[in-house]
Chains A and B, each alone.
Chain A
């Protein structure tokens, strides 16, 4: 199993551009999550999903959108990138109270 995979690893965006961060898991987990990690702030939950077709907001959803059309995929969309969205983004899936994290996407908005 590949576990949780994320693409791209790195990306630089200009203010106002849009992009989609991809996340895929091959463990057939129902629960999936998107977090952002900023220095000294820990992980903040952006969105999560309890299964295909169901998504819900986390702690910091503004400026982001998600969809969950399949169990495997949980993409995160940034429509109008802002410097405040410069961060490292982690996708995770969970089963039986254990989370599995992807390697992260480092995003810089200039």
Chain B
């Protein structure tokens, strides 16, 4: 089985500051990697994904993540956060069998 580790359970950051949410995974086979965002009292929404190709993937709202195979990491970054980015963020990994494994989540709080 695969596992996903999100090293930070809570990340407070001031508005307009940069942020990095860390994600490491364990797998001996090729994987697909995902970041999901969950706003309060809502379901999860896909933020971005890596399936193949360029190791740097971007979302429409300014987040990016880089797949690093040698370090088995898929850290999420944003150069300047907004209040509206306050949410729970989940890293997930999937094998080719369409099973998904989630990390325990990182709560991002943007401070005005």
Pairwise interchain contact B99-A98, C-beta atoms closer than 8 A = no
Pairwise interchain contact B104-A40, C-beta atoms closer than 8 A = yes
From B6, B46, B51, B105, contact of A99 by CB (8 A): B46
A40-B9, A42-B90, A42-B105 known; A99-B100 Cβ under 8 A: yes
Contacts of A62-110 to chain B: CB distance below 8 A: 90, 92, 94, 97-99, 101-104
**Which residues of chain B are within 8 angstroms of A33 by Cβ–Cβ distance?**
100
A33-B100, A42-B90, A48-B99 known; A98-B43 Cβ under 8 A: no
Q: Does B26 contact A (CB under 8 A)?
A: no
Q: How many positions in chain A have a CB within 8 Å of any CB in the partner chain?
A: 21
CA A13 – CA B101 in complex, angstroms?
29
Pairwise interchain contact B98-A43, C-beta atoms closer than 8 A = no
Pairwise interchain contact B102-A97, C-beta atoms closer than 8 A = no
From B43, B46, B49, contact of A104 by CB (8 A): B43
A48-B99, A50-B98 known; A42-B104 Cβ under 8 A: yes
**Which residues of chain A are within 8 angstroms of B104 by Cβ–Cβ distance?**
40-42
